[in-house]
Structure 1
Protein backbone atom coordinates (compact mmCIF):
# COMPACT_ATOMS: atom_id res chain seq x y z
CA UNK A 1 0.00 0.00 0.00
CA UNK A 2 1.24 3.44 -0.91
CA UNK A 3 0.01 6.77 0.45
CA UNK A 4 0.31 9.63 -1.98
CA UNK A 5 -1.09 13.06 -2.65
CA UNK A 6 -4.62 13.17 -4.03
CA UNK A 7 -4.80 13.91 -7.78
CA UNK A 8 -7.89 15.25 -9.56
CA UNK A 9 -8.32 11.96 -11.44
CA UNK A 10 -8.62 10.12 -8.09
CA UNK A 11 -12.08 11.53 -7.37
CA UNK A 12 -13.72 8.82 -9.50
CA UNK A 13 -12.49 6.25 -6.92
CA UNK A 14 -12.63 8.48 -3.83
CA UNK A 15 -16.26 9.57 -4.33
CA UNK A 16 -17.73 6.05 -3.88
CA UNK A 17 -15.80 5.73 -0.58
CA UNK A 18 -17.08 9.11 0.62
CA UNK A 19 -20.60 8.33 -0.58
CA UNK A 20 -20.66 4.95 1.22
CA UNK A 21 -19.42 6.46 4.48
CA UNK A 22 -21.87 9.34 4.53
CA UNK A 23 -24.78 7.20 3.35
CA UNK A 24 -24.17 4.76 6.23
CA UNK A 25 -24.56 7.77 8.51
CA UNK A 26 -22.89 6.15 11.52
CA UNK A 27 -19.44 7.75 11.62
CA UNK A 28 -19.39 11.10 9.81
CA UNK A 29 -21.53 14.21 10.34
CA UNK A 30 -21.93 14.78 6.60
CA UNK A 31 -25.34 15.10 4.98
CA UNK A 32 -26.18 12.10 2.73
CA UNK A 33 -27.94 14.45 0.30
CA UNK A 34 -24.68 16.20 -0.57
CA UNK A 35 -23.67 15.83 -4.22
CA UNK A 36 -20.35 14.54 -5.50
CA UNK A 37 -19.35 18.08 -6.42
CA UNK A 38 -20.19 19.47 -2.99
CA UNK A 39 -18.36 16.61 -1.24
CA UNK A 40 -15.33 17.18 -3.45
CA UNK A 41 -15.17 20.77 -2.24
CA UNK A 42 -15.55 19.65 1.39
CA UNK A 43 -13.07 16.76 1.21
CA UNK A 44 -10.25 18.07 -0.98
CA UNK A 45 -8.23 20.51 1.12
CA UNK A 46 -6.76 23.72 -0.16
CA UNK A 47 -3.32 24.85 1.03
CA UNK A 48 -2.11 24.76 3.71
CA UNK A 49 -4.20 21.60 3.99
CA UNK A 50 -3.36 18.32 2.31
CA UNK A 51 -5.44 15.43 0.90
CA UNK A 52 -4.05 11.96 0.24
CA UNK A 53 -5.12 8.52 -0.90
CA UNK A 54 -3.97 5.05 0.10
CA UNK A 55 -3.66 2.93 -3.00
CA UNK A 56 -2.66 -0.58 -3.89
CA UNK A 57 -2.26 -1.82 -7.46
CA UNK A 58 -4.16 1.18 -8.80
CA UNK A 59 -7.11 0.75 -6.43
CA UNK A 60 -7.79 3.46 -3.86
CA UNK A 61 -8.41 1.86 -0.47
CA UNK A 62 -8.91 5.01 1.58
CA UNK A 63 -8.38 8.73 1.79
CA UNK A 64 -7.47 11.36 4.35
CA UNK A 65 -7.52 15.10 4.61
CA UNK A 66 -5.54 17.19 7.06
CA UNK A 67 -4.73 20.80 7.84
CA UNK A 68 -5.11 23.46 10.50
CA UNK A 69 -7.92 22.85 12.95
CA UNK A 70 -8.74 26.56 13.10
CA UNK A 71 -7.48 29.66 11.31
CA UNK A 72 -5.36 32.41 12.83
CA UNK A 73 -4.47 31.97 16.49
CA UNK A 74 -5.58 28.31 16.39
CA UNK A 75 -3.65 27.37 13.27
CA UNK A 76 -0.79 25.72 15.18
CA UNK A 77 -3.08 22.72 15.95
CA UNK A 78 -3.80 20.29 13.10
CA UNK A 79 -6.83 18.17 12.43
CA UNK A 80 -7.50 15.28 10.08
CA UNK A 81 -10.29 13.06 8.78
CA UNK A 82 -10.13 9.56 7.35
CA UNK A 83 -12.35 7.34 5.20
CA UNK A 84 -11.63 3.73 4.24
CA UNK A 85 -13.40 1.68 1.57
CA UNK A 86 -15.67 -0.99 3.04
CA UNK A 87 -13.74 -3.79 1.30
CA UNK A 88 -10.43 -2.52 2.71
CA UNK A 89 -11.43 -2.24 6.38
CA UNK A 90 -9.46 -4.29 8.87
CA UNK A 91 -6.32 -4.20 6.72
CA UNK A 92 -4.52 -1.32 8.46
CA UNK A 93 -5.48 1.34 5.94
CA UNK A 94 -6.96 3.67 8.56
CA UNK A 95 -3.91 3.27 10.79
CA UNK A 96 -1.54 3.97 7.89
CA UNK A 97 -3.50 7.09 6.93
CA UNK A 98 -3.57 8.34 10.53
CA UNK A 99 0.17 7.73 10.98
CA UNK A 100 0.77 9.58 7.71
CA UNK A 101 -1.33 12.53 8.93
CA UNK A 102 0.52 12.67 12.25
CA UNK A 103 3.88 12.59 10.49
CA UNK A 104 2.75 15.23 8.01
CA UNK A 105 1.59 17.50 10.86
CA UNK A 106 4.91 17.14 12.67
CA UNK A 107 6.86 17.93 9.49
CA UNK A 108 4.66 21.00 8.94
CA UNK A 109 5.43 22.26 12.45
CA UNK A 110 2.02 21.77 14.08
CA UNK A 111 2.14 21.62 17.88
CA UNK A 112 -0.70 19.10 18.28
CA UNK A 113 -3.54 17.34 16.49
CA UNK A 114 -7.21 17.53 17.50
CA UNK A 115 -10.19 15.59 16.23
CA UNK A 116 -13.36 17.59 16.82
CA UNK A 117 -16.10 15.04 16.23
CA UNK A 118 -15.29 11.36 16.74
CA UNK A 119 -18.55 9.44 17.16
CA UNK A 120 -18.21 7.80 20.57
CA UNK A 121 -19.67 4.47 19.38
CA UNK A 122 -17.22 4.27 16.47
CA UNK A 123 -15.16 1.85 18.54
CA UNK A 124 -12.64 1.01 15.81
CA UNK A 125 -11.69 4.66 15.31
CA UNK A 126 -11.68 5.54 19.01
CA UNK A 127 -9.46 2.56 19.82
CA UNK A 128 -7.08 3.29 16.93
CA UNK A 129 -6.69 6.92 17.97
CA UNK A 130 -6.08 5.89 21.59
CA UNK A 131 -3.39 3.39 20.49
CA UNK A 132 -1.72 6.21 18.59
CA UNK A 133 -1.65 8.39 21.71
CA UNK A 134 -4.82 10.46 21.49
CA UNK A 135 -6.92 11.08 24.57
CA UNK A 136 -10.58 12.01 24.84
CA UNK A 137 -10.57 15.51 26.31
CA UNK A 138 -14.33 15.86 26.27
CA UNK A 139 -17.54 14.45 24.89
CA UNK A 140 -20.45 16.49 23.62
CA UNK A 141 -23.50 14.49 24.76
CA UNK A 142 -26.08 13.46 22.17
CA UNK A 143 -24.41 15.58 19.47
CA UNK A 144 -24.64 12.96 16.72
CA UNK A 145 -27.84 11.39 15.38
CA UNK A 146 -26.78 7.78 14.81
CA UNK A 147 -29.11 5.94 12.40
CA UNK A 148 -29.72 2.94 14.71
CA UNK A 149 -28.62 4.04 18.19
CA UNK A 150 -30.25 7.45 18.28
CA UNK A 151 -28.36 10.41 19.72
CA UNK A 152 -24.84 9.56 20.83
CA UNK A 153 -21.89 11.66 21.92
CA UNK A 154 -19.09 13.16 19.90
CA UNK A 155 -15.61 12.91 21.39
CA UNK A 156 -13.04 15.65 21.08
CA UNK A 157 -9.69 13.84 20.92
CA UNK A 158 -6.22 15.37 21.25
CA UNK A 159 -2.59 14.44 20.83
Structure 2
Protein backbone atom coordinates (compact mmCIF):
# COMPACT_ATOMS: atom_id res chain seq x y z
CA UNK A 1 0.00 0.00 0.00
CA UNK A 2 1.20 3.48 -0.89
CA UNK A 3 0.00 6.63 0.86
CA UNK A 4 0.36 9.75 -1.24
CA UNK A 5 -1.15 13.20 -1.61
CA UNK A 6 -4.59 13.10 -3.16
CA UNK A 7 -5.15 14.80 -6.50
CA UNK A 8 -8.33 15.94 -8.19
CA UNK A 9 -8.03 12.82 -10.36
CA UNK A 10 -8.53 10.72 -7.20
CA UNK A 11 -11.86 12.30 -6.32
CA UNK A 12 -13.98 10.02 -8.58
CA UNK A 13 -12.47 7.04 -6.72
CA UNK A 14 -12.97 8.59 -3.26
CA UNK A 15 -16.52 9.85 -3.74
CA UNK A 16 -18.32 6.47 -4.05
CA UNK A 17 -17.17 5.16 -0.67
CA UNK A 18 -17.30 8.58 1.01
CA UNK A 19 -20.93 8.87 -0.16
CA UNK A 20 -21.69 5.33 1.07
CA UNK A 21 -20.20 5.99 4.51
CA UNK A 22 -22.01 9.31 4.87
CA UNK A 23 -25.32 7.85 3.68
CA UNK A 24 -25.11 5.08 6.28
CA UNK A 25 -25.12 7.78 8.97
CA UNK A 26 -23.34 5.60 11.53
CA UNK A 27 -19.87 7.08 11.97
CA UNK A 28 -19.69 10.69 10.74
CA UNK A 29 -21.65 13.79 11.59
CA UNK A 30 -21.86 14.69 7.90
CA UNK A 31 -25.31 14.94 6.28
CA UNK A 32 -26.56 11.57 5.01
CA UNK A 33 -27.57 13.27 1.75
CA UNK A 34 -24.31 15.17 1.33
CA UNK A 35 -24.02 16.66 -2.17
CA UNK A 36 -20.87 15.70 -4.06
CA UNK A 37 -19.60 19.25 -4.62
CA UNK A 38 -19.90 20.09 -0.93
CA UNK A 39 -18.14 16.86 0.00
CA UNK A 40 -15.28 17.62 -2.39
CA UNK A 41 -14.94 21.14 -0.94
CA UNK A 42 -14.47 20.01 2.64
CA UNK A 43 -12.55 16.77 1.96
CA UNK A 44 -10.01 17.84 -0.66
CA UNK A 45 -7.95 20.28 1.39
CA UNK A 46 -5.37 22.71 0.05
CA UNK A 47 -1.97 23.39 1.62
CA UNK A 48 -0.99 23.96 4.33
CA UNK A 49 -3.61 21.31 5.10
CA UNK A 50 -3.38 17.94 3.41
CA UNK A 51 -5.53 15.16 1.94
CA UNK A 52 -4.03 11.77 1.15
CA UNK A 53 -5.12 8.48 -0.37
CA UNK A 54 -4.02 4.97 0.46
CA UNK A 55 -3.56 3.13 -2.83
CA UNK A 56 -3.25 -0.61 -3.35
CA UNK A 57 -0.71 -2.27 -5.61
CA UNK A 58 -3.26 -2.30 -8.43
CA UNK A 59 -3.97 1.45 -8.09
CA UNK A 60 -7.25 1.03 -6.20
CA UNK A 61 -7.97 3.80 -3.71
CA UNK A 62 -8.44 1.90 -0.44
CA UNK A 63 -9.02 4.87 1.82
CA UNK A 64 -8.37 8.54 2.39
CA UNK A 65 -7.55 10.97 5.17
CA UNK A 66 -7.59 14.71 5.58
CA UNK A 67 -5.52 16.61 8.12
CA UNK A 68 -5.53 20.20 9.26
CA UNK A 69 -5.31 22.52 12.24
CA UNK A 70 -8.21 21.78 14.57
CA UNK A 71 -8.84 25.46 15.32
CA UNK A 72 -7.49 28.84 14.28
CA UNK A 73 -5.48 31.50 16.05
CA UNK A 74 -4.06 30.68 19.45
CA UNK A 75 -5.40 27.12 19.26
CA UNK A 76 -3.88 26.37 15.84
CA UNK A 77 -1.08 24.28 17.37
CA UNK A 78 -3.44 21.29 17.73
CA UNK A 79 -4.08 19.21 14.59
CA UNK A 80 -7.12 17.19 13.61
CA UNK A 81 -7.75 14.52 11.02
CA UNK A 82 -10.57 12.48 9.51
CA UNK A 83 -10.39 9.08 7.87
CA UNK A 84 -12.53 7.11 5.47
CA UNK A 85 -11.69 3.56 4.46
CA UNK A 86 -13.60 1.95 1.62
CA UNK A 87 -15.76 -0.69 3.38
CA UNK A 88 -14.66 -3.18 0.72
CA UNK A 89 -11.11 -2.84 2.08
CA UNK A 90 -11.69 -2.58 5.83
CA UNK A 91 -9.80 -4.77 8.27
CA UNK A 92 -6.60 -4.73 6.21
CA UNK A 93 -4.57 -2.08 8.04
CA UNK A 94 -5.60 0.82 5.83
CA UNK A 95 -6.99 2.85 8.73
CA UNK A 96 -3.89 2.32 10.84
CA UNK A 97 -1.62 3.35 7.97
CA UNK A 98 -3.68 6.52 7.45
CA UNK A 99 -3.60 7.34 11.17
CA UNK A 100 0.18 6.85 11.23
CA UNK A 101 0.51 9.14 8.20
CA UNK A 102 -1.52 11.92 9.80
CA UNK A 103 0.42 11.70 13.06
CA UNK A 104 3.73 11.87 11.19
CA UNK A 105 2.48 14.88 9.20
CA UNK A 106 1.31 16.65 12.36
CA UNK A 107 4.69 16.14 14.03
CA UNK A 108 6.57 17.33 10.91
CA UNK A 109 4.38 20.44 10.83
CA UNK A 110 5.14 21.23 14.49
CA UNK A 111 1.72 20.52 15.99
CA UNK A 112 1.71 19.78 19.73
CA UNK A 113 -1.22 17.38 19.67
CA UNK A 114 -4.03 15.91 17.63
CA UNK A 115 -7.68 16.13 18.61
CA UNK A 116 -10.70 14.36 17.19
CA UNK A 117 -13.81 16.41 17.94
CA UNK A 118 -16.55 13.86 17.32
CA UNK A 119 -15.75 10.15 17.44
CA UNK A 120 -18.98 8.15 17.58
CA UNK A 121 -18.67 5.90 20.64
CA UNK A 122 -20.33 2.98 18.87
CA UNK A 123 -17.60 3.07 16.21
CA UNK A 124 -15.62 0.69 18.38
CA UNK A 125 -13.08 -0.24 15.71
CA UNK A 126 -12.07 3.40 15.30
CA UNK A 127 -11.98 4.02 19.05
CA UNK A 128 -9.77 0.94 19.57
CA UNK A 129 -7.45 2.00 16.75
CA UNK A 130 -7.08 5.53 18.12
CA UNK A 131 -6.45 4.26 21.64
CA UNK A 132 -3.83 1.82 20.33
CA UNK A 133 -1.75 4.75 19.03
CA UNK A 134 -2.02 6.81 22.19
CA UNK A 135 -5.29 8.75 21.93
CA UNK A 136 -7.36 9.04 25.08
CA UNK A 137 -10.90 10.22 25.63
CA UNK A 138 -10.69 13.83 26.77
CA UNK A 139 -14.42 14.31 27.02
CA UNK A 140 -17.79 12.77 26.25
CA UNK A 141 -20.89 14.42 24.85
CA UNK A 142 -23.72 12.24 26.15
CA UNK A 143 -26.19 11.43 23.40
CA UNK A 144 -24.33 13.76 21.02
CA UNK A 145 -24.89 11.58 17.95
CA UNK A 146 -28.17 10.27 16.54
CA UNK A 147 -27.29 6.81 15.26
CA UNK A 148 -29.81 5.47 12.70
CA UNK A 149 -30.16 2.09 14.46
CA UNK A 150 -29.00 2.66 18.05
CA UNK A 151 -30.61 6.01 18.76
CA UNK A 152 -28.73 8.68 20.67
CA UNK A 153 -25.18 7.55 21.45
CA UNK A 154 -22.18 9.37 22.89
CA UNK A 155 -19.66 11.40 20.94
CA UNK A 156 -16.10 11.24 22.18
CA UNK A 157 -13.50 13.97 22.06
CA UNK A 158 -10.16 12.21 21.76
CA UNK A 159 -6.69 13.70 22.15
CA UNK A 160 -3.07 12.62 21.78
CA UNK A 161 0.00 14.78 22.47
CA UNK A 162 2.64 15.01 19.74
CA UNK A 163 6.34 15.74 20.06
CA UNK A 164 8.98 15.26 22.72
CA UNK A 165 8.08 18.38 24.68
CA UNK A 166 4.43 17.32 25.12
CA UNK A 167 4.98 13.90 26.61
CA UNK A 168 4.35 11.82 23.47
Using structure 1 for the length normalisation, give the TM-score.
0.98
Give the structure 1 partner of residue 75 of structure 2: 74
Instruction: Output the CA distance in 2 between the equivalents of 1:53 and 1:20.
Output: 17
Query: Are 1:66 and 1:80, in contact at CA under 8 Å, matched by a contact in 2?
Result: yes
Q: What's the CA shift for 1:46? A: 2.3
Q: What residue is the counterpart of 1:85 in the other structure? A: 86
Write the mapping of 1:1-159 to structure 2, written as runs, cut at 5 A. Answer: 1-56=1-56, 57-159=58-160
Residue 165 (structure 2) aligns with:
none
DSSP-derived class of the 1:148 partner: coil
Report the number of matched residues.
159
How far 1:17 sits from its partner (Å)?
1.4
CA RMSD of aligned residues (A): 0.6
State the Cα distance separating 1:47 from its structure 2 match.
2.3
CA–CA separation in structure 2 for the residues paired with 1:65 and 1:131? 20
Unmatched tracts of structure 1, length 5 or more: none
CA-to-aligned-CA distance 1:4-34 (integer Å, 9 cap, x gap): 0000000000001110110111000000222
Which portions of structure 1, spanning 4 or more consecutive aligned residues, are displaced by more than 3 angstroms?
none
Q: Distance in 1 between matches of 2:149 and 2:32?
A: 15
Structure 2 length-normalised TM = 0.93
Partner SS, residue 121 of structure 1: coil
Gaps in structure 2 of 5+ consecutive residues: 161-168
**CA distance in 2 between partners of 1:150 and 1:73 (Å):** 36
Give the distance between the partners of 2:85 and 2:53, measured in 1 at CA.
10
User: What residue is the counterpart of 2:166 in the other structure?
Assistant: none
Given that residues 48 and 68 in structure 1 are in contact (C-alpha distance below 8 angstroms), is that contact kept between their aligned partners in structure 2?
no
